[in-house]
Structure 1
Amino acid sequence: MPSITSQELATASQVTDSTSTATKPLTKSSKHRVRVALSVDFDAISAHLGTGKHPDNNMADYSQGIFAGKVGVPRLVKLFNKLGLSEKMTWFIPGHSMETFPAEVKQIVDSGCEIGLHGYSHEGAYQLTEEQESDVLEKCIDLATKLTGKKPVGWRAPLYQIRETTIPLLEKHGFEYDSSLTHHDSQPFLLPLHPPIEPPDFSKPASTWMHPTPLTSSSLTSLVEIPCNWYGEDETPLSYLPHVNNSHGYVDTRVIEQMWKDRFLWLWENAGDEGSEEGVNDFIFPICLHPDTSGMAHVIGMIERMMIWLQSWGEEVQFCRYEDIAKETKGRQTR
């Protein structure tokens, strides 16, 4: 894959307006080891079929999904190839997108990235029976295996709506990791087996529901959780979805760019205080993109600037596939 040139780095560093520039910290008191967990959720039309299902969805809404496949994907594949990132990232693809956009999915697979699963019709787990959930997973495993020649090992729940029944299903099918939860924002961990959280039944006496939620568990699953976070993704602030309550669409891209840089800089200075190896600030930096958002002409330039900015930090910052982060995390846990 082509690598980024010094001229491109220099060009990116010349962006100097007050909302898009973040200076590097002055302190260099410790070493750093940062793994950028770059991912793309190729939701396309499926985003309007499952978690985004709405009686008022119409052709204009589905058109955004068509743009994602026909325009957004080729633009992002081209960008990641240009920056030398294609083989160092993960695409999470719903089964519906695999079957609806075969040529574009082939571009993604041919770029050398990891392929993870993301439901079939972007359905939330709570929309499904347990039998449907199992059928969806098996269908998508089969689709991805035929596309790539190997079984997928990663899962991201559509709209992060994972439930307790999902976890044993993923273990049963040999998955290595999930990327749906936010127990932490920058450290992977083995997913614990918590009992289901029961909300209060306010129709009953207060004495029946005034108790803490048990969070400690001596039982860990075999799944590594690679956190994903609303604040590390593009779509909610940068795409307008008429029938989705939390979409915005008119946020300046430089606001999101600056927020991501601010998060990175704080972790660069402080991640070593959170259980990393002594003297080493060791953290992951998840970013989740969507072709219908980051493929837009006014957004993709910001994505390129951000990727180049992260690359400019040198060897202490590496882009990694999610499967590689999961394998390394498991290796640390077994030492």
Structure 2
Amino acid sequence: MNDQLHPWQWDEPTWRGHVGRVRAGRPLRPSSWPGGARVAVALSFDSDHETPALRDGEVLPGKLAQGEYGARVGVPRILRLLERFSAPATFFMPAVSALLHDGEVKSYVDGGHEVALHGWIHERNTSLAPEAERDLAFRAADTLERLAGTRPVGIRTPSWDFSAATLAITRELGLAYDSSLMADDDCYELLADGEPTGVVELPVEWIRDDAPYFMMERFASLRPYTPPRGVLSIWRDEFDAAHAEGGLFQLTLHPHIIGHRSRMAVLTELLEHISGHDVWFATHAQVVAHVLAEQEAP
């Protein structure tokens, strides 16, 4: 098998096959945004809480408490801030997080926010057998549907990556969009082996994520080296460029990371800056519905 060779030994069909398995298709930046807004702002929060620790079998109180902070302190602060700016957001939530924190999903729904898939226990989907990945995805969808009252229409894989089975599972679930890949600044359609899938990608980027800047691991070299206002400068520049282009500004945050006081101050300043412009705050599902509606318009 060619895949058992070193990559430099692959023949052309092999390396082309790997690259083409999941690829960016037609761009989906709309010609305009609702209300004449210049830019769409899609805020998202990955409500992981204790699940990354649980996934790794870390069950001592220290690491679990760090995650619990997200639900206990971070989420209420975030919801108050979003209400202040009348900014609907998307909360990607592992099903185990939702089951651990009774009423949290309802608080998102009551606030006008979207609840979307983010795995069962923040599993590393790329290391799972296809049948296990599928089982966890469907269990998670059923759980969030029960708690939110509506079935999720979007997914963000816990590891921001696809296994060989992920796109097929996403399509089998009937989801409208994914938000895990990084081939553009704006929405695009996903291709599977060169064929259009109808699944919209609302892309993420590590630049627009709080975790790379602020994560801390006491027994490893992972430390938060970037001052919060240094991160603010990056995110503000990202937004300003999206506004200049008339495109999409998407941001990924985590309640147990961004929810601390000094970091919430930065998020507040960012939203104050954004709100001084002609923007459309929307959930990921709303952005996807808008770009698809324009594509279907005569």
Q: Over aligned residue pairs, what C-alpha RMSD do you find?
A: 1.9
Offset of residue 172 of structure 1: 1.2
* Matched letter for residue 223 of structure 2: H
Q: Which residue of 1 aligns with 2:64?
A: 62
1:303 aligns with 2:267: yes
Pick the aligned partner of 2:43 from 38, 45, 56: 38
CA distance in 2, matches of 1:71, 1:94: 18
Pick the aligned partner of 2:248 from 278, 281, 284: 284
Q: Which residue of 2 aligns with 1:211?
A: none
Distance 1:168 1:289, change over 3 A: same
1:102 aligns with 2:77: no
What is the SS of the residue equivalent to 1:160? coil
Structure 1 residues not aligned, in runs of 5+: 1-30, 195-216, 272-281
What is the SS of the residue equivalent to 1:105? helix
CA distance in 1, matches of 2:288, 2:242: 20
CA distance in 1, matches of 2:119, 2:104: 18
What is the SS of the residue equivalent to 1:159? coil
How do 1:313-332 and structure 2 match up within 5 A?
313-314=277-278, 317-332=279-294
Offset of residue 108 of structure 1: 2.1
Offset of residue 308 of structure 1: 1.3
How do 1:237-276 and structure 2 match up within 5 A?
237-242=213-218, 247-269=222-244, 271=245
Q: Which residue of 2 aligns with 1:80?
A: 82
Any idea what the Cα deviations from partners look like across 1:29-78, whole Å, max 9, x if unmatched?
xx97210110000001002233xx277x7422111111111111111112
Distance 1:183 1:243, change over 3 A: farther
Distance 1:74 1:158, change over 3 A: same
CA distance in 1, matches of 2:217, 2:177: 30
Any idea what the Cα deviations from partners look like across 1:179-235, whole Å, max 9, x if unmatched?
000001x210111114xxxxxxxxxxxxxxxxxxxxxx2x11121000001010112
Greater Rg over alpha carbons, structure:
1
- 1:36/1:320 contact within 8 Å kept: yes
How do 1:1-335 and structure 2 match up within 5 A?
33-50=38-55, 53=56, 58-85=60-87, 88-184=88-184, 186-194=185-193, 217=194, 219-242=195-218, 247-269=222-244, 271=245, 282-314=246-278, 317-335=279-297
* Matched letter for residue 192 of structure 1: L
CA distance in 2, matches of 1:243, 1:225: 36
CA distance in 1, matches of 2:50, 2:132: 20
Q: Which residue of 2 aligns with 1:18?
A: none
- 2:211/2:257 contact within 8 Å kept: yes
CA distance in 2, matches of 1:250, 1:62: 23
Q: Which residue of 1 aligns with 2:30?
A: none
- 1:74/1:107 contact within 8 Å kept: no
* Matched letter for residue 166 of structure 2: T
Offset of residue 116 of structure 1: 0.5
Distance 1:105 1:63, change over 3 A: same
Q: Which residue of 2 aligns with 1:3?
A: none
CA distance in 2, matches of 1:148, 1:58: 30
CA distance in 1, matches of 2:217, 2:73: 18
What is the SS of the residue equivalent to 2:217? coil
Q: Which residue of 1 aligns with 2:20?
A: none
Any idea what the Cα deviations from partners look like across 1:258-283, whole Å, max 9, x if unmatched?
001122223334x3xxxxxxxxxx31
Offset of residue 156 of structure 1: 0.2
What is the SS of the residue equivalent to 2:268? helix
CA distance in 2, matches of 1:244, 1:132: 30
CA distance in 2, matches of 1:76, 1:241: 24
Q: Which residue of 2 aligns with 1:25?
A: none
What is the SS of the residue equivalent to 2:121? coil
